[in-house]
């Protein structure tokens, strides 16, 4: 007998699933269940339509339930459900890698993973192993940044700079140092786009390198735009300067583009937007439009060639990989997603809408407890004045009230982040900021 799992829209057993990054006990008192999605909207279990202000978790860049992507996944599931990722191949993963390299000239190799955290761990491991196979095995140190988010693997939380992600989990990776974050309310509040102040903070890398000696440093990893810690836009010249200092000292530069990849800034990737070329790029999310979990690491050809040249013929050049690297369903979803992006010109569309988006974001100045507004591409950060002793309370109140009014937003601390699907219309922008403005005025 067929089971229609779709009937299970109101589970009465909320006891078994240990939810990620969620206040589990609070959720159970007021479960927010999503049962359907299409285009810019979710439908809740109680039949309400919710405008998706966050593209899921920054991943559904082409909007929900796109027919082309759904069909590609269905077709693949009926043909080849799984193929071993080690020592075996299937055509779609090769095709997807090839298509991705044409999107990002200069990055000729793609390593597939199961998501953003795995992409980060993969990139960090490639960086360390790269130096080792070149005969510079002392280069093991990794440099991240305060307020960086690089997923939840031990590598990612070690180079990341979020105290709550770190303090419960032991001593983390050894040999990690952190750049200061680039956010300064006094010097940057209400900046449109990239702040003029703060490029000099990249010079801190020189200080850290001098402390440890360049011969011990493998890589620097940063998000070009930090998303999960409240939308921190890189100051003008900052990323360029990091690139120069890394070049000077033979250190690899990694951009974590898990959220900035696939059109979010109005270009394919942030590397293109800022004109700065890192050595490795991590990505995930928009790669498959969020439909099937998948991540990827882009590597410059020289990095790949180093592994190929140094390893004896017939041996595994990089001893690393995942059961689900290049999964057939994910590869099918990825190919169809790239088609949708291209056919609908969604990256260009994001670039065209960005000025309208910027005006809408900054129209919230002076509304309720807003103390800063930040934007780039189709991303917004709305910072609220915190209630003393109750960090996160105001933003959580905004989240709950916005959800009641039919808008999904995301919060981190007392900062609201918006990153809707790139298929949005100006009317969606008006609705989003109209609803949010109403909510902000009612906050305690």
Of 151 and 328, CB closest to ligand PMP: 151
Tokens describing residue 114? 């199961």
Instruction: Report strand pairing: 176-179 vs 141-145.
Output: parallel
The answer to the question of residue 373 lying near ligand PMP (CB under 6 A) is no
The residues in 27-86 that bind ligand PMP, with binding defined as CB under 6 A, are none
Of 286 and 369, CB closest to ligand PMP: 286
The answer to the question of residue 120 lying near ligand PMP (CB under 6 A) is yes
Find the binder of ligand PMP among 54, 61, 93, 117 (CB under 6 A): 117
3-state secondary structure of 143: strand
Q: How many CA atoms lie within 13 A of 424 on its CB side?
A: 32
Q: What is the largest CA-CA distance in the chain?
A: 68
Pick the stretch among 135-143, 168-176, 220-228, 434-442 that binds ligand PMP (CB under 6 A): 220-228
The answer to the question of residue 228 lying near ligand PMP (CB under 6 A) is yes
Report the alpha-carbon distance of residue 31 to residue 19 in Å, rounded: 12
Other C-beta atoms closer than 10 Å to the C-beta of 162 total 17
- Residue 321: CB minimum distance to ligand PMP, A: 17
Residue environment code for 289-313, b if the CB has 16+ CB neighbours within 10 A, otherwise e: bbbbbbbbbbbbeebbebbeeeeee
Of 281 and 384, CB closest to ligand PMP: 281
The contact pattern for ligand PMP, residues 85-104, with x = CB under 6 A and - = no contact, is --------------------
- Residue 228: CB minimum distance to ligand PMP, A: 5
Calculate the alpha carbon distances from 426 to 193, 346, 357, 432 in Å: 19, 14, 8, 10
Of 228 and 268, CB closest to ligand PMP: 228
Pick the stretch among 242-250, 256-264, 342-350, 374-382 that binds ligand PMP (CB under 6 A): 256-264
The contact pattern for ligand PMP, residues 148-187, with x = CB under 6 A and - = no contact, is -xxx------------------------------------
Tokens describing residue 57? 């978790």
Do residues 141 and 175 lie in contact, with contact meaning Cβ atoms separated by under 8 Å? yes
Q: Which residues, listed in sequence order, are joined to residue 41 by a DSSP beta bridge?
A: 38, 51
The answer to the question of residue 256 lying near ligand PMP (CB under 6 A) is yes
Of 191 and 228, CB closest to ligand PMP: 228
The answer to the question of residue 142 lying near ligand PMP (CB under 6 A) is no
Residue nearest to ligand PMP (CB): 116
Find the binder of ligand PMP among 53, 115, 195, 290 (CB under 6 A): 115
- Residue 412: CB minimum distance to ligand PMP, A: 10
Q: Which residues, listed in sequence order, are joined to residue 52 by a DSSP beta bridge?
A: 408
- Burial label, 206 (beta-carbon count in 10 A; 0-12, 13-18, 19+): middle
394 CA to centre of own chain: 24
The answer to the question of residue 399 lying near ligand PMP (CB under 6 A) is no
Of residues 64, 172, 118, the one with CA closest to residue 282 = 118
355 CA to centre of own chain: 22
Q: Running DSSP on this structure, what letter comes out for residue 198?
A: T
Pick the stretch among 124-132, 252-260, 335-343, 360-368 that binds ligand PMP (CB under 6 A): 252-260
Report the alpha-carbon distance of residue 383 to residue 171 in Å, rounded: 31
The contact pattern for ligand PMP, residues 269-308, with x = CB under 6 A and - = no contact, is ---------------x------------------------
Report the alpha-carbon distance of residue 181 to residue 144 in Å, rounded: 10
- Residue 188: CB minimum distance to ligand PMP, A: 20
Residue ranges binding ligand PMP (CB under 6 A)? 115-117, 120, 149-151, 223, 227-228, 256, 258-259, 284
């Amino acid at each position: 007998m067929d089971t229609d799992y779709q009937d299970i829209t109101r589970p009465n057993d909320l006891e078994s699933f240990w939810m990620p990054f969620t206040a589990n006990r609070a959720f159970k008192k007021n479960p927010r269940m999503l049962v359907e999605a299409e285009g810019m909207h979710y439908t809740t279990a109680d039949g309400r339509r919710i405008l998706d202000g966050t593209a899921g978790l920054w991943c559904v860049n082409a909007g929900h339930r796109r027919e082309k992507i759904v069909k590609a996944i269905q077709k693949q599931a009926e043909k080849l459900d799984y193929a071993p990722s080690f020592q075996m191949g299937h055509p779609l993963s090769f095709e997807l890698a090839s298509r991705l390299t044409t999107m990002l000239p200069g990055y000729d190799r793609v390593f597939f993973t199961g998501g953003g955290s795995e992409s980060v761990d993969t990139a960090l491991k490639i960086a360390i192993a790269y130096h080792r196979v070149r005969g510079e095995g002392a280069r093991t140190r990794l440099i991240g940044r305060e307020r960086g988010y690089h997923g939840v693997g031990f590598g990612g939380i070690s180079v990341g700079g979020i105290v709550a992600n770190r303090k419960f989990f032991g001593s983390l990776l050894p040999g990690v140092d952190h750049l200061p974050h680039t956010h300064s309310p006094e010097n940057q509040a209400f900046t449109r786009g990239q702040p003029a102040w703060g490029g000099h903070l990249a010079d801190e890398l020189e200080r850290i390198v001098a402390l440890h000696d360049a011969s011990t440093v493998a890589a620097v990893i940063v998000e070009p735009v930090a998303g999960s810690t409240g939308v921190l836009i890189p100051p003008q010249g900052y990323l360029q300067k990091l690139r120069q200092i890394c070049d000077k000292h033979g250190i690899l530069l990694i951009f974590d583009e898990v959220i900035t990849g696939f059109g979010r800034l109005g270009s394919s990737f942030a590397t293109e937007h800022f004109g700065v070329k890192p050595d490795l790029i991590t990505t995930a999310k928009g790669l498959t439009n969020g439909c099937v979990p998948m991540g990827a690491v882009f590597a410059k050809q020289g990095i790949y060639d180093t592994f190929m040249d140094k390893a004896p013929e017939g041996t595994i050049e990089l001893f690393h990989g995942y059961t689900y690297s290049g999964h057939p369903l994910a590869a099918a979803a990825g190919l169809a997603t790239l088609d949708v992006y291209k056919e609908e010109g969604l990256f260009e569309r994001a670039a065209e809408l960005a000025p309208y988006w910027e005006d809408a974001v900054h129209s919230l100045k002076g509304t309720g407890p807003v103390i800063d507004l930040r934007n780039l591409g189709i991303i917004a950060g709305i910072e609220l004045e915190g209630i003393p002793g109750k960090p996160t309370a105001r933003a959580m109140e905004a989240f709950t009230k916005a959800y009641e009014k039919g808008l999904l937003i995301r919060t981190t601390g007392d900062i609201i982040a918006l990153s809707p699907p790139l298929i949005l219309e100006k009317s969606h922008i008006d609705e989003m900021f109209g609803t949010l403005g109403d909510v902000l005025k009612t906050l305690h």
